[in-house]
C-alpha cells in the first residue's frame, strides 16, 4: 500500500469564513458557518464532510464499474447528515446517509451485483469516517429501483 501525506491550509478571512488552500493549481475554497455564527458565504464543515463522503463513494462506485468496462454515467449522489446532541449536550454528526443514483438502468450493467458488494470497502473517506459515524449507503438505478 502506498502511503502519502495530504496537507491543506486554512486562512481566516473574516469571522468564521476561511479560505481553504489545497496547493498546486487547485483554486482556494471559501468555507463559512451558517448564520447566526457566520454569514454562510461557503460550505460549512458538515457540508464538506458530506461532500467528502459522497464524492468518495461516487468515485469508488465509478471506478468499480469501469473496471468491468461499464458506463453508469451520469452518476448523482445525495448525502444527508443527521445533526443532534451527544450525551454531553454537544452538537455532533450522529449519522450520514448517502444515496447514489446510477445514470442508467441496472439491467444495462454487467457484474453489478459484484460491484455493489464491494465498492464501499475501497472508499478511503467513508471507511475512515464510518469508524466514528454511522454511514448508510443506498444505490438506485436510473429507473428508481433500489439496488442496495
What are the extents of the domains in the chain? 1-43, 45-140
Could you give the dihedral angle defined by the CA atoms of residues 49, 114, 74 and 126, in that order, rounded to the nearest 10 degrees?
0
CATH 3.30.300.20 for domain 45-140: yes
Model confidence at 142, pLDDT cuts 50, 70, 90, reads very high
Copy the grid coordinates of residue 51. 461532500
Average pLDDT rounded to a whole number, residues 19-30: 97
- Residue 32: other Cβ atoms inside 10 A: 20
Candidates 53, 34, 35; CA nearest to 44 is 34
Q: Is the pLDDT of residue 21 over 80?
A: yes
Average pLDDT rounded to a whole number, residues 108-132: 97
Write the pLDDT tens digit of every residue in 36-52: 999 999 999 999 999 99
Q: What is the 3-state secondary structure (H, E, C) of 29-65?
A: EEECCCCCCCCCCCCCHHHHHHHHHHHHHHHHHHHHH
Q: Is the pLDDT of residue 101 over 90?
A: yes
User: For residues 96 and 134, is the Cβ–Cβ distance under 8 A?
Assistant: yes
Average pLDDT rounded to a whole number, residues 122-147: 97
Model confidence at 1, pLDDT cuts 50, 70, 90, reads low
Whole-number Å distance between alpha carbons of 41 and 90 = 24
15: left (phi over 0), alpha (psi -120 to 50) or beta: left
Q: What is the pTM of this model?
A: 0.93
What is the reported pLDDT for 48? 98
Q: Is the pLDDT of residue 2 over 80?
A: no
What is the reported pLDDT for 3? 85
Average pLDDT rounded to a whole number, residues 8-23: 97
User: For residues 43 and 57, is the Cβ–Cβ distance under 8 A?
Assistant: no
Amino acid at each position: 500500500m502506498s502511503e502519502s501525506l495530504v496537507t491543506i491550509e486554512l486562512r481566516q478571512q473574516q469571522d468564521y469564513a476561511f479560505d481553504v488552500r489545497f496547493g498546486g493549481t487547485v483554486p482556494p475554497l471559501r468555507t463559512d458557518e451558517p448564520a447566526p455564527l457566520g454569514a454562510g458565504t461557503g460550505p460549512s464543515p458538515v457540508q464538506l464532510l458530506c461532500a467528502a463522503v459522497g464524492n468518495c463513494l461516487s468515485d469508488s462506485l465509478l471506478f468499480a464499474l469501469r473496471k468491468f468496462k461499464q458506463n453508469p454515467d451520469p452518476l448523482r449522489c445525495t448525502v444527508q447528515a443527521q445533526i443532534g446532541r451527544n450525551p454531553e449536550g454537544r452538537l455532533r454528526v450522529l449519522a450520514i446517509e448517502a444515496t447514489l443514483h446510477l445514470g442508467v438502468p441496472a439491467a444495462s450493467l454487467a457484474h453489478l451485483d459484484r460491484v455493489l458488494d464491494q465498492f464501499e470497502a475501497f472508499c478511503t473517506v467513508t471507511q475512515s469516517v464510518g469508524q466514528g459515524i454511522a454511514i448508510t449507503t443506498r444505490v438506485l438505478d436510473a429507473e428508481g429501483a433500489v439496488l442496495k
